[in-house]
Amino acid sequence: MSKKLKITILGTATSIGVPMLGCTCPTCQSIDPKDRRTRSSIFIEYQNEKILIDVGPDFRQQALNQGVHDIDHVLLTHEHTDHVNGLDDLRPLNFIHKKAINFYAETRVLKEIETRFNYIFDPKGIRLPRLNVHEIKPGDVTIGKETIQAIRVMHGELPILGFKLENFAYLTDAKKIDSAETEQLMNLDLLIVNALRREEHHKHFTLQEALDFISMVKPKKALLTHLSHALPKHAELNNELPTNVSVAYDGMTISIQ
Ligand SMILES: [Zn+2]
Ligand SMILES: [Zn+2]
Ligand SMILES: [Zn+2]
């Protein structure tokens, strides 16, 4: 029997969010709640493990909106501000549940986080939120009683991580994925992948690059995330996508049994 997996998409925007502050483009002026996108992150309930991937600047409001009251593990894809700046808001979960949160990232990412949030890691600092730090590399990662795969993804020149659990994978901020990694991502039940905008960007898949990658790895279903305001409104964009591809939105949930 396959394992229990529930995914809650907490945020689906690129680094500046949608709407973009000060912008009056049609997407930013949309009244559709699905066009209000917070910074990209997902929450996964996998058997008994509660896993947060990335902890961006909107984390607190995302957790309140989606009823996320407990987190056992935080995994980071990379160190960019839109993926880490909610770290301080993990503190109440330490207080309420009286436990440290497992925190997983690559060595380079941990170094950068230790510099930017020195009070969390400095032995003379307040050391809150309380984190159990685990250095990870591409390959198998033990998360509580479960194992997931960290997958190497290139974010422009920066090597970052995607994550795969069962027949599901989450890739954000990808621009290039080598053939060995692509092989691991073939024929998934669900793939969540970034698609920034139509115009070329040196660090992110464009919409076309994301669609080309999806047609190469052939998931049953794909969802697009890390979107910019330069893409059409949610409903319009959905209309132009292949039948197995949809635009993700904040608060979307998917259960895979
Ligand atoms: Zn990002
Ligand atoms: Zn706009
Ligand atoms: Zn990034």
Measured in Å, residue 51 CA sits from the centre of ligand 3 at: 20
* Number of the ligand closest to the Cα of 203: 3
pLDDT at residue 78, rounded to an integer: 98
* Secondary structure (3-state) at 126: coil
Cα(237) to ligand 2 centroid in Å equals: 15
CA of 78 to the centre of ligand 1 (A): 8
Alpha carbon of 232 to ligand 2 centroid (Å): 10
Residues with CB under 5 A from ligand 1 (ion): 82, 173
Question: Could you tell me the distance, in angstroms and rounded to a whole number, from the CA of residue 124 to the centre of ligand 1?
Answer: 31
| In contact, 228 and 14? CB cutoff 8 Å | yes
Q: Which ligand has an atom closest to residue 40 CA?
A: 1
Output phi, psi for 111, to 5 deg. -60, -45
86 C-alpha to center of ligand 1: Å?
A: 13
1 C-alpha vs ligand 3 centroid, how far in Å?
36
How many residues would you count in the chain? 257
For the question of whether the overall pTM of this predicted structure is more than 0.85, the answer is yes
Contacts of 123 (CB under 8 A, 6+ apart): none
Can you list the alpha helix ranges (DSSP code H) found in the chain?
26-29, 59-66, 81-84, 91-97, 107-116, 118-121, 179-184, 207-217, 234-239
Query: So what's the pLDDT on residue 1?
Result: 57
Give how far Cα 111 sits from Cα of 90, 108, 127, Å.
19, 5, 16
Enumerate domains of the chain plus CATH numbers: 5-256 (3.60.15.10)
The per-residue pLDDT for range 189-214, each reduced to its tens digit, is 999 999 999 999 999 999 999 999 99
Q: What is the Å distance from ligand 2's center to 104 Cα?
A: 34
At which residue do the structure tokens 């992948």 appear?
193
**Ligand nearest to the Cα of 16, by number:** 1
Closest ligand (CA of 23): 2
- Give the ligand whose atoms come closest to the C-alpha of residue 83: 1
Q: Residue 227 C-alpha to ligand 1 middle, in angstroms?
A: 10
Question: What's the CA-to-centroid distance between 82 and ligand 3, angstroms?
Answer: 7
In the sheet that holds 131-135, the strands lie side by side as 131-135, 101-105, 73-75, 49-53, 41-46, 5-11, 253-256
pLDDT at 2: 76
- CA-CA-CA-CA torsion sign (116, 112, 165, 132): negative
Q: How close is the Cα of 108 to the center of ligand 3, in Å?
A: 14
Looking at the CA of 175, name the nearest ligand. 3
Which residues does the chain have with pLDDT short of 50? none
Ligand minimally distant from the alpha carbon of residue 229 = 2
